[in-house]
Amino acid sequence: RGDSQGENRGRAGVAPRPPCRFGEGCSDKSSGHRKKYAHPGDADLKAEAKRVERQGDCRSVWAKDSAVPDPEPLTPEQIKEQATLGAQTLRPRGSISMDDATLGAVAGDAHARHCFEQMMTNEKRMCKEWAVFYHSYNTAAVLYELQAAVASVLFRFQSTYATLPRLLRGNFPMIPDARTLEKMWPTWPEKDHSPIFKSVAICATTSLLRKDPEATPTAWFLKGYAASVPDTALIQSLVASCGVEASLAGTLATKIQATFVKFNVGAKGRAGHMLQIFMKRHLVDKYVYAALPYGVPDSSRAPLGKHLNGPGPIVGQVRMVVHPSAFLRATRTRVYCYSADPEYHKRRAELQDTLTDILAPALGSDEARIRAARGIFGAELPAWYSSEDQRSVIKSMPRQRGLSKWQ
């Protein structure tokens, strides 16, 4: 199947149309839709496929950041072995349990206990192919939520289920992977408190229950691990990076800050949040390295991927490069967010909807979304990018996968 529009665009010098997300299953036969989007069989889609094949992975400017190739995925035999070993936190089997003594402050809090039980259920369900990490935070929720809202509209990020710690391209070309991060770390006097580190990486731990040298999840879940408090100027800078003029960015930042106050984001008291981060096991050593406090490399657990695939016990810190080429792709990384405040926990989806409504001047039209995506990519957009609001695609994904919810 082909059309004259596709034939013209398939010739040199004519930009290809973005592909229709429904592919062969598209039921929209209108001339407007067919003119705007390419479909299987159209000449421009064939030409683009040939171009990508010649030039390698052109999915985004981010994909070319790292010189480290993706390792081979686990074999069926290795996957079977991981299933036998079981949940990462509980290895070796029978060595630790979720009793009151282990849960500590979490044990007497019904909501917190439920969150930990759910996180453990996730570990057991996903242990075959996914390693897991835990990242505790509090005031940083302001930026994490805002970045998740932007990414949900532009890049199909599932913000209903998780926040997003990093988004802007920034220093990722300089530090695209764990190997580079580990080499750069000694050059920073502030170590993992360096602004450069904070722009590309996060600290995390490898066990939900075992004592960590710095941030044991059971000890920090309710209050969250402290960081600097994002102010309106920082929010304005993030909004401005989406291509919004400074005056409008200031207005939107003020509204966003007021929304965070309304939803009690980053407030004192039960201010803790936990990201449960699942990463495909074969990708761990590309993006994560074993660490001691302050980011000092821990050679006793290197390579980290081998340690996490072992029989346990598994415990200790890591430093993780939150590269968009991994964190915006559900085939590579999947994230759940849990909040200590039960009311806030229930209202996260409402918060995300409110944020995207406020951001309408920056994200509310095809033209605005293209401008915002260019600002975040830091370059021209790749051929696969689609300017439609990606939340509509997100809503259809669980049904397409036959799932009741994300992941």
The total of other beta-carbon atoms located within 10 Å of residue 223's CB is: 16
pLDDT at 229: 64
Pairing relationship of beta strands 317-321 and 273-280 according to DSSP bridges:
unpaired
Residue 67 has pLDDT above 50, yes or no: yes
Token pair listed for 215: 């941030």
Enumerate residues 6+ apart whose C-beta is below 8 A from 167: 147, 150, 151, 324, 376
- Residue 334 to residues 40, 46, 132, 246, 277: CA-CA distances in angstroms? 29, 31, 10, 34, 6
CB 166 within 8 A of CB 200: yes
Q: Between these two residues, 288 and 174, which has the higher pLDDT value?
A: 288
| Range 181-193 average pLDDT | 90
Taking all residues of the chain, what is their mean pLDDT, rounded to a whole number? 83
Q: Would you state the pLDDT for residue 299?
A: 95
User: Who has greater pLDDT, 7 or 355?
Assistant: 355
36-47 pLDDT per residue, tens: 877 766 776 556
Q: Minimum mean pLDDT among 17-21, 45-49, 103-107, 189-193: which range?
A: 45-49
Q: What string of H, E and C letters represents the secondary structure of the chain?
A: CCCHHHHHHCCCCCCCCCECCCHHHCCCCCHHHHHHCECCCCHHHHHHHHHHHHHCCCCCHHHHCCCCCCCCCCCHHHHHHHHHHCCCCCCCCCCCCCCHHHHHHHCCCHHHHHHHHHHHHHHHHHCCCEEEEEEEECCCHHHHHHHHHHHHHHHCCCCCCCCCCCCCCCCCCCCCCHHHHHHHHHHCCCHHHCHHHHHHEEEEECCCCCCCCCCCHHHHCCCCCCCCCCCHHHHHHHHHCCCCCHHHHHHHHHHHHHHHHHCCCCCCCCCCEEEEEEEEHHHHHHHEEEECHHHCECHHHCCHHHHHCCCCCCCCEEEEECCHHHHCCCCCEEEEEEECCHHHHHCHHHHHHHHHHHCHHHHCCHHHHHHHHHHHHCCCCCCCCCCCCCHHHHHHHHHHHCCCCCC
> What are 335-346's pLDDT values in tens digits?
999 999 998 888
Q: What is the pLDDT of residue 180?
A: 94
Residue 318 CB neighbours (<10 A)? 27
The answer to whether residue 53 scores a pLDDT higher than 60 is no
pLDDT surpassing 80 at residue 222: yes
Q: Which residue has the higher pLDDT, 46 or 98?
A: 98
